[in-house]
Structure 1
């Protein structure tokens, strides 16, 4: 092989090597660009997912706030209605008291019988209306004294019933549904043993004073 041919082959090898290097560089650059694009897409996806999660949290919070507001509004309306009804009932109770007093004091004469019957009809009708609204009388006479339902005006001796029993009702008590809106004013039987102790103490104190 002549020097000229050797030189030619050498130049061709050099060109092929340069071309290979150039191709490798192009491929590396393309790979690098693809990797950069994938990284960018990953970042965008993560950002979008975070935004979606944030919006979902905001939506859940708004829904919870709306539910709370709705419940609060409904409770306020119920409380308002309950208060209005309770106020009306409290005002009408003295009217019932007056009816009861009138019935107690009407004579048994025939001339008064018609008046009494008329008052009884009105009284019963009024009680029926209150009963339909959830107003009930508190049964007191013969029941054990209970501070949740009764106000004791005084105590009396009564051997026919156990101690601390309601023996007389001075003014009726009423409940509106499950709430006491007026305690019954009652007279309660006293504990004879307690009264005897008090009498003995008073007697003993009297003796001491005389000495």
Structure 2
């Protein structure tokens, strides 16, 4: 081999070894970057802890709200089954008022009805107020039939309330059944 060729080979070897050294340094730098420092590890764990703490706080608030809602409507099934009894009392009072001779009976039935209804009110039961002339609202009323409106201003309004509605807290447990004008 000639001298020039030897020099070229040496230059090539030097270039290759230099590029290999640079590559090795880059790889070592990447490896060093991949290993997080102690401060980065602490910050990551702190972040994870804060997220877990916030998630737990949200869980506590949600279960607390659900528990309160459950207590408010826990007696819903019982209240719903007692509503026909209230209806029967009201019908009885209506019929007894027509009979003038049964004044003492009316007073006794009225007393029992008032005690019964007051007890249910203390447990959160309330009437959904509906009267003739109110605007019909499908979210509050249950329309059972439509009849021709006796006057133009009663179209789309409540004409008669057939069955009273009741709420337990803020939740309607029985919608008032109404007749609306057409």
TM-score by length of 1: 0.59
Alignment of 1:23-102 (within 5 A): 47-102=37-92
* Equivalence for 1:182: 174
When residues 62 and 155 of structure 1 are mapped into structure 2, their CA distance, relative to the original with a 3 A threshold, is closer
The 8 Å contact of residues 166 and 176 in structure 2, kept in 1 or not, is answered as yes
The 8 Å contact of residues 166 and 173 in structure 2, kept in 1 or not, is answered as yes
Structure 2: gaps of 5 or more residues: 1-35
Residues of 1 paired with 2:156 and 2:66: CA distance? 41
Residues of 2 paired with 1:54 and 1:180: CA distance? 49
Higher helix proportion (structure 1 or 2): 1
| Deviations 1:26-61, CA, capped at 9 Å, x for gaps | xxxxxxxxxxxxxxxxxxxx7331232133123212
Aligned residue pair count: 145
**Which of 155, 158, 165 matches 2:157?**
165
Residues of 2 paired with 1:152 and 1:87: CA distance? 23
The 8 Å contact of residues 73 and 168 in structure 2, kept in 1 or not, is answered as no
Residues of 2 paired with 1:160 and 1:99: CA distance? 35
Structure 1: gaps of 5 or more residues: 1-45, 191-211
Shift of 1:70: 1.0
Residues of 2 paired with 1:159 and 1:69: CA distance? 55
Residues of 2 paired with 1:54 and 1:145: CA distance? 58
Higher mean Cα deviation, 120-129 or 179-188? 120-129
| Deviations 1:73-110, CA, capped at 9 Å, x for gaps | 21331232233132232122111111112112225232
CA RMSD of the aligned region, Å?
2.5
Shift of 1:147: 1.4
Residues of 2 paired with 1:170 and 1:144: CA distance? 16
When residues 65 and 159 of structure 1 are mapped into structure 2, their CA distance, relative to the original with a 3 A threshold, is closer
The 8 Å contact of residues 161 and 189 in structure 1, kept in 2 or not, is answered as no
Shift of 1:161: 5.5
SS at match of 1:84: coil
Determine which structure has greater relative contact order: mean sequence separation of CA pairs < 8 Å that are 6+ residues apart, divided by chain length.
Answer: 2
Residues of 2 paired with 1:116 and 1:139: CA distance? 25
When residues 160 and 58 of structure 1 are mapped into structure 2, their CA distance, relative to the original with a 3 A threshold, is closer
Shift of 1:160: 8.4
